[in-house]
Amino acid sequence: EDPAGRARFDELITADQRVEPTDWMPDAYRKTLVRQVSQHAHSEIIGMQPEGNWITRAPSLKRKAILMAKVQDEAGHGLYLYSAAQTLGVTRDRMTEDLISGKAKYSSIFNYPTPTWADMGSIGWLVDGAAICNQVPLCRASYGPYARAMVRICKEESFHQRQGFEILLHLSRGTKEQHEMAQESVNRWYAPALMMFGPPDADSPNSAQSMAWNIKRFSNDDLRQRFVDMIVPQAEVLGLTLPDPDLKWNEERGHYDYGELDWNEFSEVLKGRGPANAIRLERRRQAHEGGAWVREAAAAYAERRRAMAEK
């Protein structure tokens, strides 16, 4: 413990200023950030798979180009976030090992399959919409590199959300079959999207400390409520219904009430037993192994440049 460092850290947090990589910080603060930022990075990288599944089958050249760009954005988000985590002292190799060994968590949402084209719409509208609600406040997180990475990520997520909305709008106003496909997809993604915000506040062990450190700015339930309030009028514009019979405006609270979520399902997904956990990790492992030659070549090239510079 460094008393001067501790005092400076406390001062920064109290003044709501940024902590930078060279500042002293408590071990627990560093640990919680490594946990959250690496999980966030893994989510972006695993999140490429459910949509990557549709690149070769997108219904038009334009849709294909948009989808490719979006999936590439997600790769970029993963890379900024791994870089932000590295400033905390964890290596990229270590994070990758933890992901492919199944030790590290990533967002529950990416363990659901994408059987229809409408799922590209639901992912954009609901999943990226939830991501924005959760991530806009993270642009003000106390750790500088994380907060700065979030600014660009949020701008790109806004575009992703709109493109998803537009896919659903197009389907909803299309043929009867297309409308049904859109509705069926929203029926499957609605509850898992609400679970993205994490367990209810009473069961969220990390929230209180993360809020005290200005990493999280709002609780899981507050953000979930904000998201529900946002999507209800959007669903009306889409001409689609949200699959929750308990969803209704509560005049007194000034918010929409919504039904209980299946937290048992959430816990199963977190334990690796969701519908697509095994395939997501297997694909990631294969991609990592398949990329070994690139890493070896890059290391050999760096070594040769170093040797030449020494001559």
DSSP classification of residue 19: B
What is the closest distance, in whole angstroms, from the C-beta atom of residue 162 to ligand ACO in the complex?
15
Question: Between 150 and 182, whose beta carbon lies closer to ligand ACO?
Answer: 150
Question: Between 205 and 245, whose beta carbon lies closer to ligand ACO?
Answer: 205
What is the closest distance, in whole angstroms, from the C-beta atom of residue 200 to ligand ACO in the complex?
9
Question: Between 30 and 105, whose beta carbon lies closer to ligand ACO?
Answer: 105
Q: What is the 3-state secondary structure (H, E, C) of 149-196?
A: HHHHHHHHHHHHHHHHHHHHHHHHCCCHHHHHHHHHHHHHHHHHHHHC
Structure-token pair, residue 112: 């659901």
Q: Which residues bind ligand ACO (CB under 6 A)?
A: 35-36, 39-40, 43-44, 47, 105, 107-108, 131, 134, 195-199, 204-207, 210, 216, 220, 270
Question: Between 8 and 52, whose beta carbon lies closer to ligand ACO?
Answer: 52
Q: CA-to-CA distance for 270 and 198, rounded, in angstroms?
A: 11
Q: Which residues, including other chains, have CB under 8 Å from residue 280's CB and lie 6 or more apart?
A: 46, 49, 110, 111
What is the closest distance, in whole angstroms, from the C-beta atom of residue 71 to ligand ACO in the complex?
12
What is the closest distance, in whole angstroms, from the C-beta atom of residue 172 to ligand ACO in the complex?
23
What is the closest distance, in whole angstroms, from the C-beta atom of residue 185 to ligand ACO in the complex?
17
Asked if residues 147 and 139 have their Cβ atoms less than 8 Å apart, the reply is yes
Structure-token pair, residue 65: 């180009």
Question: Between 8 and 217, whose beta carbon lies closer to ligand ACO?
Answer: 217
First to last CA, the chain: 43
Positive or negative, the CA dihedral 70, 73, 78, 81 is negative
